[in-house]
Amino acid sequence: MEEYINIQDKNYSQMLSYIKRQGFPHTEKTETITSGIVKRLDVSHGKFSCVVKVYGTGTIQVQGQKSKLYDSLIEAKTAIENEEEIHELLPFEIETFTETLKTNIPHIDPIIVRFIDEAISCFKANSLLGCAFLLGAASEKAIWILIDTFGLSIDDQTNRDKYVSRVGKGSISRAFDEFKKSFGGCKTKPQNFDLTQDLQIKIESVFQFCRICRNEVGHPQIVPNLDKGVILANLGQFTKYIETIYGLIDFYATNKTEV
């Protein structure tokens, strides 16, 4: 009996820790059944809720409607019961990343969404090279949309043609540099100061990281040594990165630019 109590406490503690790390609202209860004490967690996320029960034998039961919350808890349950490293599970917000983007940016390019979906699948399969390459592809697609949208917003035809000629030559890196020059010198910028500052603070740093990783994977001299923690951290900030890019895209899609 002592062994069962220890297993129950251990598994319950791990499940509770996972739920807290995800930031899921929850309550704790204990129930008494014929075979002993059951530790219960009532967990919610948005409109969905689930019940997690941990029995004296250490068995974990997840009850609830099929949802991302349910799938996340099932994944944690499986890892705990198989004595795997639960810290390897993806944070919930990354699991639902593409859904969040489609909600916040209904007009997001479907190619970006597909690349990010595949990148998350690669990460979960421990395919870091594939994940890095796909994140780079998603990033490049978003940046090209920004570059092109800014060009179309230039009011003067002569200046627009010059810009298109400059960004159309060479690599995405060169095109982005040309865009930055034009953006820095243009007289039409978002009134949102943070959005303007974000080009350097939140966009350029992630863009360069993704571009370098993609180049190392796509044109390798040796097999790149990618750190899983760094890739995960990059995944974690990718939502804000894409949303910030689309903030600029939406501005220049609806405003004429004087350069």
Q: Indicate whether 93 pLDDT > 60.
A: yes
Taking CA 58 as the corner, what is the angle to CA 54 and CA 64, rounded to the nearest 5 degrees? 35
Domain boundaries, the chain: 2-88, 94-253
Give the tens place of pLDDT for each residue, 176-203. 999 989 988 888 888 765 656 667 677 8
The structure's pTM equals: 0.69
Residue 96 to residue 45: CA distance in whole angstroms: 12
Between 99 and 143, the more confident residue is 143
Task: Give 117's Cβ-side CA count (13 Å radius).
Answer: 11
Task: Identify the pLDDT of residue 97.
Answer: 83
- Say yes or no to pLDDT of 108 above 80: yes
Q: How confident is the model at residue 135 (pLDDT cuts 50, 70, 90)?
A: very high
**How is the beta sheet containing 48-54 ordered, strand by strand?**
26-33, 36-45, 48-54, 60-64
CA-CA distance, 88 to 53, in Å (whole number)? 22
| 190-241 residue pLDDT tens | 876 565 666 767 788 889 888 888 887 876 666 667 777 778 777 878 888 9
Query: Which pLDDT value is given to residue 6?
Result: 80
